[in-house]
Structure 1
Amino acid sequence: MEMNAGKLALPETVREFGFFVDGKWIAAGNRRVIERNSPAHDVPVTRITRCTVDDLNQAVRVARDAFNDRRWSGLSGADRATVLLRAAEGIRARAEELALLETLESGKGISQSRGEVLGAASIYEYAAGAARALHGETFNNLGDNLIGLVIREPIGVVGLITPWNFPFFILSERVPFILASGCTVVAKPSEVTSATTLVMAEILAEAGLPAGVFNVVTGAGSEIGQAMTEHDDIDMLSFTGSTAVGRRALLASAGNFKKLGLELGGKNPQIVFADADLNEAADGVVFGICFNAGQCCVSGSRLIVEKSVAVEFEKLLADKIARVRVGDPLDPNTQVGAIVTSQQNDTILSYIGRGMAEGARLVCGGGALETEKGQFIRPTVFADVRMDMAVAREEIFGPVLTISTFETFEEAIELANDTVYGLAASIWTKNLDKATSAFRRVQAGRVWVNTTIAGGPETPIGGFKQSGHGRETGIYGVEEYTEVKTVHIALGKRDLWV
């Protein structure tokens, strides 16, 4: 694997994809296709198949057959681990190809894409170990004539719907753990960022994953995604996306009472106490709102700063944001790339307009970056924000930060928890007692202290409140895709009842 250190060139041709079912590629044929333009360059880069519900049904049948005949679930954890380790090798071998596809479709900087692809490979390596570590329990306290076993079994066919903001990394926070549990998969990536999921299907097949265990159908979420949530032969659905769509998935799942794993929206607080290292905290807050152009479910979009240092901290933020490099994602020096779609671009700009209309004070940014091609938004900061403003309450999913102030610890916690969401939070302080009290009381599935958007596959991720339920990654991420079965074994002769 060799990374290109210079600015990359756009590909000369559009890359075309079929879809992947039962271990083989299926050409688009007479099906409609979706052409994806690079959001940074306004040129077509990929073309994917718009699958039909019949295609989905076939993929589910294939996944069901693969599960029932135990070609994967019947293997040992060691054998599954071998395939996952080979998959990690395959990702590393094709890292530059994957990173370029990710950047072309999503608009994120190539350096970020490269980091995410290599990080994804390490997730597969961790999950390989988890496949061997999955275990149950024994109860040897039921008397001499009875022993109890608690065993974990794969839940069955898993439907996986992934979003456009981290198409390869979020896929990799799900798939290796689903496979480690012994389940089979039908995946549907976002229609605007499908390429890397399709390439991953090929990598898994080459790693020795049996045909039919991992299948990919592509197309519109309103059609294929909705059909997955309603499908009676899908045992569990993992969905990552907006809370609004997650709510629809929850209602649709009632048809066969399928289990749901939901990672949804966030309006995540960054609490900065006066005793924090303000320069480091400012750097973390800027990273937290600018990473992936703010199109990140755990983006630190609400700054809650102690009033005594608010003026100083605001100046630090403005200075750092002025030095953030926004531009062509094919340039390795770019820190903030393009906004993924024109619709998302319009949504972010409309929220910036609402912030101004509602009386928030614009500190910096405030609109689009003027370029010949593509869609880019300047990182934007609003101060003097009240909690009744839309920019303070609603998930914007863009590089827009709001600032509110507090005077007491209790007020900081109250502001942090004043949201329907509970996905993530960051706390900045050098006082260990204060940090501990804060992370105990903040309602969020992930809390960072003196850092943000950090960690690895060893620990679980997921949300509180309307940010979803269930947990991914870590050993919890394997257990999420299992059913728990209790077995009682009688020993010796039975005391006859009749």
Structure 2
Amino acid sequence: MDHQPAHFLLPSDPRTFGFFVDGKIVEAGARPYFERHSPGHGVAVTRIPKCTKEDLDLAVAAARRAFEDGRWSRIPSVERASVLLRAAQIIRRRAEEIALWETLENGKPISQARAEIDGCVGIFEYAAGAARALHGDAFNNLGDRLFGLVTREPIGVVGLITPWNFPFLILCERVPFILAAGCTIVAKPSEVTSATTLILAEVLAEAGLPAGCYNVVTGSGSTIGQAMTEHMDVDMLSFTGSTSVGRRCVQAATGNFKKLGLELGGKNPQIVFADADLEDAADGVAFGIGFNTGQCCVSGSRLIVERSVARAFEEMVTAKFAKVKVGDPLDPATQVGAITTAAQNETIMTYIAKGRAEGARLVCGGEQLDFGHGHYIAPTLFGDVSADMAIARDEIFGPVLSVMPFDTIEEAIAIANDTVYGLAASVWSKNIDKALTVARRVRAGRFWINTTLAGGPELPLGGFKQSGWGREAGIYGVEEYTQIKSVHIELGKREPWVS
């Protein structure tokens, strides 16, 4: 496992941020700070203000004013698209800076962060086109006297709560679509990865987004996040995170019946048939669980493999894991970086211990890697996993893969669907009939055939079952942040009711 530190990229002192309300940076003043240490190096990298509920109220009020006076919600879509295109250009220009802060706070490999930021440029560019493509409908079938229109209107002020695993990517899978719809935003990033959400405020301001349309309030989920879900003047809440917290969002949102968009947990199957290109499948399976150190809601954490090739395929995946470069996130050669928080590191190691205790066979990995600082876990593979084990049922959110064999296509589908989640799934087979049958019957919002974790902003994201509500990205992602209005127009003179 390679570990080549790149200390020249580490800041000598942590960067101190303010928060962002009504087009202006607000300094922390007397507010305390979160001090974030790089999970790969243990060095302090950022200081983020702990905002108050009063700060949130000011941000929501700014977003409300910006929405109601029409400075964004009522301008032509071509003007909104122009702002989004300029934002894309600025992100491209600042890509290396954004990628660095993403890596410093999150611990993901710098090469991965760079690819994600590049993808975010494309998302903004796509959303600019979607802003201009958004439309309603007309009904010319109501008779000679009545004509019907269906319009889409921006829903209003959107509260946006994003997680620590993809701070900038998940932000950019939401923000440009929310803005394309004409809404205004109050964003609350994870307290451990707030830097790039605040940098996006600078980007959008430079791009010409009017003041008040994008606000950032930093703080913990238990204070600012909870207050946002309960806030009576937030029209919609978009939350990405665990299913347990998503459930609390549902309960809190009943105060004003705000609309919810929820992308929650997953326990995603990767189904491998004997007729697959097994070399491709082994590489894809390793990538599907190793990407972002498995801290990914669409990670393929259940390997459902045809029994006739199960042992041989285990060996192929083990060989792939042995070649994965785990190490310093700032080293461009690193493929798997650091675990983002000490708490998550402990959670993963606890599940590995549970897997052993419950009788699963540890094929490889399972240990903490010691590089002198930071949290690192070797990619881990368990065999002989049964459906009742914790490692087969719970979202671990780490590089831990469980092997579950099957004999028939019906059994593979049944195992894949035997979960409360339904976020994503993959199937590997060269038989298109078989692959499409599985794709149609496995209950998941995203599905990959002979690939995994692929795609772009054109296709929507979201889950079935307890993996969430609603869809992000694509034209569906713009529509998610709109309300539908029916307009009835009567032609000619009215037939009197009272004569």
Q: Compute the TM-score of the two structures, normalised by the length of structure 2.
A: 0.98
CA distance in 1, matches of 2:448, 2:66: 40
Q: Which residue in 2 is equivalent to 1:43?
A: 43
| 1:240-389 superposed matches below 5 A | 240-389=240-389
CA distance in 1, matches of 2:158, 2:9: 38
What secondary structure, in the 3-state scheme, does the structure 2 residue paired with 1:116 have? helix
Over 3 Å counting, the alpha-carbon distance change for 1:7 and 1:283 in structure 2 is: farther
CA distance in 1, matches of 2:43, 2:125: 36
What secondary structure, in the 3-state scheme, does the structure 2 residue paired with 1:212 have? coil
CA distance in 1, matches of 2:111, 2:371: 21
Counterpart amino acid of residue 140 in structure 1: N
Quick check: 1:225 aligned with 2:225? yes
Which structure 2 segments of 5+ residues have no match?
A: 1-5
What secondary structure, in the 3-state scheme, does the structure 2 residue paired with 1:488 have? strand
What is the root-mean-square deviation in Å for CA atoms of aligned residues? 0.7
What secondary structure, in the 3-state scheme, does the structure 2 residue paired with 1:192 have? coil
Deviations 1:71-101 (A, max 9, x none): 0001111000000000001101110110000
Counterpart amino acid of residue 440 in structure 1: R
Q: Which residue in 2 is equivalent to 1:119?
A: 119
Quick check: 1:130 aligned with 2:127? no
| Contact residue 8 and residue 330 of structure 1 kept, 8 A | no
Deviations 1:231-253 (A, max 9, x none): 00000000000000000000000
Number of equivalenced pairs: 493
Q: Which residue in 2 is equivalent to 1:88?
A: 88
Q: Which residue in 2 is equivalent to 1:3?
A: none
Q: Which residue in 2 is equivalent to 1:79?
A: 79
CA distance in 2, matches of 1:406, 1:143: 58
Quick check: 1:196 aligned with 2:196? yes
State the 1:387 CA deviation.
0.4
CA distance in 2, matches of 1:378, 1:32: 36
CA distance in 2, matches of 1:177, 1:433: 35
Q: Which residue in 2 is equivalent to 1:146?
A: 146
What secondary structure, in the 3-state scheme, does the structure 1 residue paired with 2:245 have? helix
What secondary structure, in the 3-state scheme, does the structure 1 residue paired with 2:270 have? strand
CA distance in 2, matches of 1:284, 1:305: 13
State the 1:370 CA deviation.
1.4
| Contact residue 8 and residue 331 of structure 1 kept, 8 A | no
CA distance in 2, matches of 1:329, 1:273: 34
State the 1:311 CA deviation.
1.1
What secondary structure, in the 3-state scheme, does the structure 2 residue paired with 1:149 have? strand
Deviations 1:440-488 (A, max 9, x none): 0000000000000000000001000000010000000000000000000
What secondary structure, in the 3-state scheme, does the structure 2 residue paired with 1:325 have? coil
CA distance in 1, matches of 2:118, 2:430: 32
CA distance in 2, matches of 1:39, 1:475: 36
Identity of aligned residues (%): 70
Q: Compute the TM-score of the two structures, normalised by the length of structure 1.
A: 0.98
CA distance in 1, matches of 2:339, 2:7: 19
State the 1:126 CA deviation.
0.1
CA distance in 2, matches of 1:222, 1:449: 39
CA distance in 1, matches of 2:411, 2:144: 58
CA distance in 2, matches of 1:96, 1:410: 47
What secondary structure, in the 3-state scheme, does the structure 1 residue paired with 2:493 have? coil
| 1:439-458 superposed matches below 5 A | 439-458=439-458
Counterpart amino acid of residue 451 in structure 2: T
CA distance in 2, matches of 1:7, 1:17: 22
| 1:168-207 superposed matches below 5 A | 168-207=168-207
CA distance in 2, matches of 1:325, 1:262: 33
CA distance in 2, matches of 1:349, 1:135: 50
Q: Which residue in 2 is equivalent to 1:430?
A: 430
CA distance in 1, matches of 2:261, 2:90: 27
Over 3 Å counting, the alpha-carbon distance change for 1:95 and 1:8 in structure 2 is: farther
| 1:15-30 superposed matches below 5 A | 15-30=15-30
CA distance in 2, matches of 1:18, 1:473: 29
| 1:2-21 superposed matches below 5 A | 9-21=9-21
Which structure 1 segments of 5+ residues have no match?
A: 1-5
Counterpart amino acid of residue 381 in structure 2: V
CA distance in 2, matches of 1:240, 1:92: 25
Deviations 1:134-177 (A, max 9, x none): 00000011111110000000000000000000000000000000
Counterpart amino acid of residue 174 in structure 2: R
CA distance in 1, matches of 2:393, 2:74: 48
| Contact residue 7 and residue 332 of structure 1 kept, 8 A | no
User: Which 4+ stretches in 1 moved above 2 angstroms?
Assistant: 6-9
| Contact residue 271 and residue 304 of structure 1 kept, 8 A | yes
CA distance in 2, matches of 1:342, 1:56: 28
| Contact residue 156 and residue 235 of structure 1 kept, 8 A | yes
Deviations 1:38-65 (A, max 9, x none): 0000010000000000000000000000
Q: Which residue in 1 is equivalent to 2:410?
A: 410
State the 1:10 CA deviation.
1.1
Deviations 1:332-370 (A, max 9, x none): 000000000000000000000000000000010011001
State the 1:9 CA deviation.
2.4
Counterpart amino acid of residue 173 in structure 1: E
| Contact residue 91 and residue 203 of structure 1 kept, 8 A | yes
| 1:481-492 superposed matches below 5 A | 481-492=481-492
Counterpart amino acid of residue 300 in structure 1: G
| Contact residue 7 and residue 331 of structure 1 kept, 8 A | no
Q: Which residue in 2 is equivalent to 1:473?
A: 473
Q: Which residue in 1 is equivalent to 2:398?
A: 398
CA distance in 2, matches of 1:160, 1:371: 36
CA distance in 2, matches of 1:230, 1:43: 36
Counterpart amino acid of residue 415 in structure 2: L
Counterpart amino acid of residue 144 in structure 1: D
CA distance in 2, matches of 1:185, 1:209: 11
Q: Which residue in 1 is equivalent to 2:3?
A: none
Deviations 1:286-333 (A, max 9, x none): 000000000000000000000000111011001110000000000000
Over 3 Å counting, the alpha-carbon distance change for 1:182 and 1:461 in structure 2 is: same
